[in-house]
Amino acid sequence: MSKQPFYFWEGETLVLNVLGKPSSKQDAIGKPKGHQLKISVTAAPVAGRATDHMVRFLAGEFGVATSDIEVVFGRMNVNKQLRIKSPKRLPAVFAQQALI
């Protein structure tokens, strides 16, 4: 049984499965948990604000504009899928996942 990765590529677009953790002490990219990547944000889960905050945080982490990140589903849920257009850089957890 192969372990399902938390991301895959569609051409230049990175498709990322996320397990969100709102109301955290700090914004952080955590460890993969199953087929999702845990991402903590400081924003509270009110009216999609935590997801919007996560998109802004991830834009900086991946070196893209916020408009290059699309929330495919899960804006009001901890389980999300994001599409990141042509990321300029990848956080360290991606290199670790590639070695598994």
| Pure H helices in 49-100 | 49-62, 92-99
Question: Would 42 be classed as within a structural domain?
Answer: yes
Claim: this prediction has a pTM higher than 0.85: yes
Higher pLDDT, 94 or 43: 43
Extract the runs of DSSP E, i.e. beta strands, from the chain. Answer: 7-10, 13-21, 28-33, 36-40, 69-73, 79-85
What CATH number does the domain containing 14 carry?
Answer: 3.30.1200.10
**Tens digits of residue pLDDT in 9-18:** 999 999 999 9
**Tens digits of residue pLDDT in 14-40:** 999 999 999 999 999 999 999 999 999
Question: Would 56 be classed as within a structural domain?
Answer: yes
Total domains in the chain come to 1
| Domain range enclosing 60 | 7-99
The yes-or-no verdict on residue 2 having pLDDT over 70 is: no
Question: Would 2 be classed as within a structural domain?
Answer: no
**Tens digits of residue pLDDT in 64-78:** 999 999 999 999 999
- pLDDT category of residue 1 using cuts at 50, 70 and 90: very low
**Cβ-based neighbours of 12, under 8 Å, separated by 6 or more:** 85, 86
DSSP 54: H
